[in-house]
Amino acid sequence: MDDAQSNHLKAYGVTYRALQRGGRAEWLLNYRGGSFLLPADTATERDAALTGVTVEPASDGDVVAVRGEIQANNMDAVPLEKAPKVAVYVPPNAAPWDDAVTMSLEYAGIEYQKIWDLEVLGGRLKDFEWLHLHHEDFTGQYSKFYLAYSGAFWLSEMVERNQETARRLGLPNVPALKKAVAREIRRFVQDGGFLFAMCTATETIEIALAAEGMDVAAPYADGTPMDPEASAKLDWSRSFAFRDVKLEQSSAIASFSDVDGHQVNNPPRRQPLGAFTLFNFSAKIDPVPTMLVQCHRQVIPDFYGLTTSFQRERLKPDVTVLADEPGAPWVKYIHGEFQKGTWTYLGGHDPEDPQHQIGDPPTDLSLHANSPGYRLVLNNVLFPAAKKRELKT
Amino acid sequence: MLRHVQRRPVLPRITPLALAILLAGPRAGRAQAESRALAEAGELERVGRHADAAVRYRGILRADPTSLPALLGLERVFTSLERPDSLVPLVRAALARDPLNQAIHSLELRVWFALGHSDSVTSAARRWIALAPRSADPYREWAFTVAQRGDLAGAKGVLAEGAGRLGDAALAQDLAQLTALAGEWTEAARQWVAVVRGNPGLLPAATGSLTRAPAVARDEMLSVLLGVGGDSTSRRLAADLLAGWGRADEAWPLLDATLPQDPQAAAVLLQRFAERAGTMRSRRSALVRGYALERLATLVDAAASERVRLQAAQAYADAGDLRSAQRMLERAGAGAETGEAVAPAMASLIRALAEQGSVEEAERRLRAWSDRLGGDDRETLREAVAWAWARRGELDRAEAVLAPDSSVAAAAVRGWIALYRGDLGNAREQLRAAGPYTGSREEATRRMGMLVLVERIAADRLPEFGRAVLALARGDSVQALVDLEQAARKLSPSGGRADVLAFAGEQALARRDYQAAEDLLSRALATDSVGPAAPAAELALARVQAETGRTEVAIRQLEHLILAHPQSAMVPQARRLRDRLRGVVPE
């Protein structure tokens, strides 16, 4: 799918639905920006026509030629077997327009189910293969908007909803609730699940996992001050990606730690946006990272989120960097394995709304059907569909 | 924090240097040498040779340990080299020579901050306070250094200590700034009012600090400023904030009621308000801009008042308040030496008169002012007046106004006039001559859409169609639908009947007459389901179905359009509407 593709994002939906109908597909890694080879059945052709996805008919001879080109170059063909069952961790009444993954799933037409704390702690994660987290704050501090937006209806609602859930589950406060959810998510990955997180969820789930048994939340969240020595006590062996992180002690600053290189809400440390570059992996040796970076652009304009990027020096040594900003001390897109499963983090909130502010109008993806940033999100959705034996890393 | 962008104390060091250059002898020579060395160091810094730049800067400091440009240069390069500690002995040496230098004390605080030594920041600040006990500078710089590490409560504590020793007024502005930075908007608004009360000249600073408040915080800020206990200062600040938030029409009554007695002070506020209202595009903001300028004209000298009244006339005309615009023009025009000054306001007035249907008056003024208007203005206004006559149905008068005009824009108007007469042959010729780019984007799109339709009608004269299009221009869509149906009956199925019926259906949809729209569009499709009008008719029909709550039927209609007419320009719109109906993209 190079620039000839008229709707990159919906192409993922067409492929997903082909798999859902019981069909087979192949992901042609690095072939013309990463393409899909699907059977030319009536349902797929109709689906592509309705969604505006460009398809090119290929005869047997054409396919042989494509395979020859793949064999001779840094490309590979990965069979896709089964449409993964997708869950998105999101509050029950959240609109789909404030979460990049929900938006892209809706737009591409990929089925998913919303789950929240009660479902996660009720053991529902085992019903899914892929789980997405977006801007949830797993430290239980309401994204640290508590002071700046006090009195705002949406914040009051968020606080009330979380406190009520904690009460129903017999947990003492919201930070304890979120830690319990984080532990359950870790178990999901440990047992073979695929986790994809963006924005604040990346940084805060790591902090929540590392902060077992200690107070890392501001007094407004749990009634007690944050442990002043918390940074030194965090146990990073429990987390997926980060290590040696220093927590932000001030409850007035909407930043959690020094993981994020951009610090969008911390004026003295805020960094301007640049562009990030996707790494080029060996498709035949490293198909997993290759799948995750399939795109028709190698350099993509950066976009802010409460967590925009990840400081390189805070990454564990076994983390695979998928994209970074050359020359900058931070990276944008990372991946790793955790026991039987994998996790992938993409910094930032919305690839097509780089400055994203609370109250901004929702992003209309029909105006960004070729968005390279959103393609990265959708790579993650299809990657669990790849046949297991092909996953060499 | 933006504090370090402003290195205010640079100026006091430059002044003695400049004096030294005026004096002959060794001191002047040393200044020249330092200036050369600074330029070289700056160039090294620019090309990224920070270590070499550091050597040059240190060389300058050997001759003059208090050279501020060199110290600031070292601050930059040592930061890049990750050696901020190297600055410590140099700053100490500088302070030993010049212990009251504010800039060097500020630098010392920054150095300790960069090194993460908060205790040393405190000690340095305390030493500075001891040296300058009556100055607010140490508290200010200390507070903003503390704020930089995110400790806004600590920073406020520093300012409170300073206020305790120097009086509340000394650091009130800094405290208000810090409170706004902390996102405590309501409290910041309270603090800024007190600051502006003491120094009205700080109103723009207060607004600058507070306009960044998020939308959710604004109502509460306004209720504080306008609530019980509010005075003219707080209402003036509220007015200024409202103007900054793009709500000039709400701001005006507040400002109007609280203008100071002093004419000069009132003029400053009115000028500021008028400028900000002028950046907004609504008619209401144009109207309040007119009010402000009219008031301003009474407060300035005669020459300025004439200019301001002309601006007011233009603002009133833009707002559609023709009576006020004329009143302003009469008062300004009476004293105008030449027509040139009045021309822009007069052009606005003529345009507004034409748009509002006072065509005789517009044409009279156009004739009277024609020689004094610029060429572009003259042509645009002729077209506006011709349009106004055409809309009234006085097509001969419209053509007469355009007679001397051979521009493509005039061709466009002539094309429409021919169309209104039902002279489709001439209309095609003129609309083609006007081309696809003449006029605004909206007008060009409308014109090209009409040309496409007329090209498909196999007739050179069709008065029913002309009457219909004129009725649409006059806003009479009911009559237009009657005339369009009559026109369609006169055409063969392949000679434009389906196109005219589809066009009629779209007009019915636009006026939300869904029953008529569905009937006309269905008839268009029954007449010709594969011709060029069919995709547009299908899209419009799907819209009718969607807007009458038949979402599934609409989706099926759109899918039919997409699959049956894959090459049609309507397909992207159909896909988008289908996505919207399926809830895949936001409304």
Separation of first and last alpha carbons in chain A: 24
Percent share of chain B, pLDDT over 70: 93
Closest chain A residue to B586 measured between Cα atoms?
Answer: A364
Give which of A28, A57, A79, A77 is closest to A48, Cα–Cα. Answer: A57
A92 and A46 in a common domain:
no
Residue B569, token pair as written in the block: 């320009």
Residue environment code for B61-96, b if the CB has 16+ CB neighbours within 10 A, otherwise e: beebbbbbbbbbbbbebbeeeeebeebeebbeebbe
Q: Does A268 touch chain B (CB under 8 A)?
A: yes
Q: What is the pLDDT of residue B355?
A: 82
> A261 and A272 in contact (C-beta within 8 Å)?
no
Of residues B587 and A124, which shows the higher confidence score?
A124
- Whether residue A342 sits in one domain with residue A203: yes
pLDDT at position B251 is 94
Q: Give the span between the Cα atoms of B56 and B77, in whole angstroms.
A: 11
Partner-chain residue, chosen from B2, B150, B578, that has the shortest CB–CB distance to A248: B150
Higher pLDDT, residue B317 or A375? A375
CA nearest to A104 within chain B: B584
pLDDT reported for residue B3: 33
**CB environment B302-324: b (16+ within 10 A), e (fewer):** eeebbebbbbbbbbbbbbebbeb
| A46 shares contact with chain B (CB less than 8 Å) | yes
Out of A54, A80, A106, pick the residue that ends a domain.
A80
B575–A51: do the CB atoms touch at under 8 Å?
Answer: yes
Of B147, B150, B563, the CB nearest to A49: B563
Q: CATH number for the domain including A350? A: 3.40.50.880
Which residue of chain B comes nearest to A263, CA vs CA? B150
Do residues A113 and A88 make contact, with C-beta atoms less than 8 angstroms apart? yes
Facing B584 at nearest CB: one of A52, A107, A266: A107
- Number of domains composing chain B: 1
DSSP lists the bridge partners of residue A315 as A242
Host H or E run for residue A25 = strand A25-29
Q: Could B181 and A152 be called an inter-chain contact, meaning their C-beta atoms sit closer than 8 Å?
A: no
Q: Of B126 and B8, which is predicted with more confidence?
A: B126
pLDDT in tens, B319-377: 888 889 888 887 876 445 456 667 777 888 888 888 888 889 889 888 888 877 777 77
Residue B197 lies in a domain: no
Residue B561 C-alpha, separation from nearest chain A C-alpha, in angstroms: 9
Is residue A1 situated within a structural domain? no
Q: Are A215 and A345 in the same domain?
A: yes
- Given a contact cutoff of 8 angstroms between Cβ atoms, the answer to whether A166 and A173 are in contact is yes
| Overall number of domains in chain A | 2
* CA distance linking residue B251 with residue B229, whole number of Å: 19
Examine the domain organization and report whether A42 and A173 are in the same domain: no
Looking at the fold, whether A27 and A173 belong to one and the same domain comes out as no
Contact, A96 vs A356, CB < 8 A? no
Over range B278-305, report the average pLDDT. Answer: 90
Tokens 């967590």 belong to A307
Distance separating alpha carbons of residues B387 and B390, to the nearest angstrom: 5
Instruction: Say if residues B333 and B340 touch (Cβ distance below 8 Å).
Output: no
Q: Is residue A284 part of a domain?
A: yes
Distance CA B292, CA B277 (A): 9
Q: Which of B109, B221, B585, B587 to mutate to test the interface with A (most CBs of A within 10 A)?
A: B585
Query: For residue B1, is pLDDT > 60?
Result: no
What's the mean pLDDT in B275-280? 88
pLDDT for residue B11 = 27
Chain A: give the shortest CA distance to residue B400, in Å. Answer: 46
| B571 vs A contacts (CB less than 8 Å) | 52
Instruction: Indicate the pairing of strand A194-198 with strand A341-346.
Output: parallel
Q: Nearest to residue B284, comparing CAs of B318, B312, B237? A: B318
Q: Which amino acid, one-letter code, is at B370?
A: S
Q: What is the pLDDT along chain A (393 residues), one digit of tens a residue?
A: 999 999 999 999 999 999 999 998 999 999 999 999 999 999 999 999 999 999 999 999 999 999 999 999 999 999 998 899 999 998 876 766 678 889 999 999 999 999 999 999 999 999 999 999 987 899 998 887 766 666 667 777 788 888 999 999 999 999 999 999 999 999 999 999 999 999 999 999 999 999 998 999 888 888 888 888 889 999 999 999 999 999 988 777 778 999 999 988 877 778 888 999 999 999 999 999 999 999 999 999 999 988 999 999 999 999 999 999 998 999 999 999 999 999 999 999 999 988 877 667 788 998 999 999 999 999 999 988 886 544 444
Q: Which amino acid is at A390?
A: E
Contacting residues of A for B559, CB less than 8 Å apart: 50
Closest CA to B74 of B54, B48, B59: B54
Residues A23 and A146 in one domain: no
Residues A154 and A274 in one domain: yes
Q: Which domain holds residue A46?
A: 8-80
Contact of B295 with B263, CB cutoff 8 Å: no
> Considering the domain boundaries, does residue B488 fall inside one?
yes
pLDDT band with cut points at 50, 70 and 90 for residue B230: confident
Assign A35 to helix, strand or coil: strand
Rounded to 5, what percent of chain B is helix, strand, coil? 80, 0, 20
- State residue B80's pLDDT score: 81
Distance CA B350, CA B355 (A): 9
Output the CA–CA distances (angstroms, integers) from residue A257 to A111, A185, A245, A350, B425, in the order listed.
Answer: 34, 21, 7, 21, 73
Backbone φ and ψ of A143, nearest 5° = 55, 20
- Return d(Cα A300, Cα A304) in angstroms, integer: 13
Nearest to A147 among B148, B183, B559 (CB): B183
Q: Percent helix, strand and coil across chain A, each rounded to 5? A: 35, 15, 45
Answer yes or no: is A321 within a domain: yes
Distance between CA B142 and CA B551 in Å, rounded? 64
pLDDT single digits (tens) B88-137: 999 999 999 999 998 999 999 988 988 888 889 899 999 999 999 999 99
Comparing C-alpha atoms, which of B314, B249, B326 is closest to residue B285? B249
| Closest CA of chain B from A212, distance in Å | 26
Q: Do A268 and B585 touch (CB under 8 A)?
A: no
Do the Cβ atoms of A302 and A330 come closer than 8 Å?
no
Q: How far is A357 from chain B (nearest CA, A)?
A: 9
Contact A266 B182 (CB under 8 A): no
Residues A111 and A44 in one domain: no
Helices A174-190 and A199-210: crossing angle in degrees, nearest 10, is 90
Q: Are A330 and A273 in a shared domain?
A: yes
pLDDT tens per residue, range B209-219: 998 888 888 99
Q: Which residue of A has its CA nearest to B562?
A: A50
CA separation for the pair A301, B526 (Å, rounded): 50
Cross-strand bridge partners of residue A195: A131, A343
Q: Which residues contact B175 (CB under 8 A, 6 or more apart)?
A: B156, B159, B160, B163, B191
Q: What mean pLDDT, rounded, does chain B reach?
A: 87
CB A106 within 8 A of CB A55: no
From chain A, pick out residues whose CB is under 8 angstroms from the CB of B147. Answer: 268
A3, part of any domain: no
B-chain residues within 8 Å CB-CB of A266? 150
- Give me the pLDDT at residue B340, please: 66
Q: What angle do CA B295, B298, B301 make, to 5 degrees?
A: 135
Picking from A105, A161, A174, A166, the residue whose alpha carbon sits closest to that of residue A134 is A105
B541 against B327, higher pLDDT: B541
Q: Find where tokens 């529902």 sit.
A: A124
Q: Domain limits at B535?
A: 457-581
Q: For residue B403, is it within any domain?
A: no
Residue B391 lies in a domain: no
- Residues of chain B found within 8 Å of residue A151, distances taken between Cβ atoms: 216, 220
| CATH classification at residue B463 | 1.25.40.10
Could you tell me if B183 and B189 are in contact, meaning their C-beta atoms sit under 8 angstroms apart? no
Cβ <8 Å between B586 and A362: yes
Please name every residue paired with A130 in a beta bridge, in sequence order, or none if there are none.
Answer: A86, A194
Residue-wise pLDDT for B455-504, tens only, equals: 999 999 999 999 999 999 989 999 999 999 999 999 998 899 999 999 99
**Is A134 within a domain?**
yes
Residue of B nearest to A153 (CA): B216
Chain B: closest CA distance from residue A305 (Å): 17
Q: Are B227 and B190 in contact (CB under 8 A)?
A: no
Contact A149 B1 (CB under 8 A): no
**Nearest alpha-carbon partner for A259 in A208, A326, A187:** A208
Find, in chain B, the residue whose alpha carbon is nearest to that of A109: B584
Residues A178 and A31 in one domain: no
> 3-state DSSP call for residue A240?
coil
Which of B79, B80, B216 is the mutation pick for testing A, counting most A CBs within 10 A? B216
Asked if A267's CB is within 8 angstroms of B1's CB, the reply is yes
Q: Identify the burial level of B485 via C-beta atoms within 10 angstroms of its C-beta, where 0-12 means exposed, 13-18 middle and 19 or more buried.
A: middle
**Is residue A14 one of the residues assigned to a domain?**
yes
Does B475 fall in a domain? yes
The CA distance from A86 to A78, in Å, is 20
Q: Report the number of secondary-structure helices (H) and strands (E) in chain B.
A: 33, 0
From A21, A54, A80, give the residue that closes a domain: A80
B-chain residues within 8 Å CB-CB of A98? none
Q: Which residues contact A31 (CB under 8 A, 6 or more apart)?
A: A66, A69, A70, A75, A77
Instruction: Check: CB of residue A221 under 8 Å from CB of residue A173.
Output: yes
The radius of gyration of chain A from alpha carbons, rounded to an integer in Å, stands at: 21
Distance CA B565, CA A210 (A): 58
Interface probe with A: pick from B109, B179, B584, most Cβ of A within 10 Å? B584
Same domain, A164 and A237: yes
Burial class (CB in 10 A: 0-12, 13-18, 19+), B42: middle
**ipTM greater than 0.85, yes or no?**
no
Residue B130 DSSP SS3: helix
CB contacts of A253 in chain B (<8 Å) are 150
Contact A319, A338 (CB under 8 A): no
Give me the residues of A, 354-373, that contact B with CB < 8 A: 357-359, 361-366
Do you know the residue count of chain B?
A: 587
Q: What is the pLDDT of residue A388?
A: 59
Co-location of A370 and A291 in the same domain: yes
Q: Could you report how far apart the first and last alpha carbons of chain B are, in Å?
A: 39
Nearest to B429 by CA among B404, B398, B402, B408: B408
Q: Which residues of B touch A107 (CB under 8 A)?
A: 579, 584-585
User: From the centroid of its chain, how far is CA B325?
Assistant: 24
Range with lowest mean pLDDT among A16-20, B437-441, B542-546, B575-579: B437-441
Strand partners, A87: A113, A131
In a domain? residue B262: no
Partners of residue A149 in chain B, C-beta under 8 Å: 214, 216
Tell me whether A213 touches chain B (CB under 8 Å).
no
Domain boundary among the residues A80, A112, A142 is at: A80
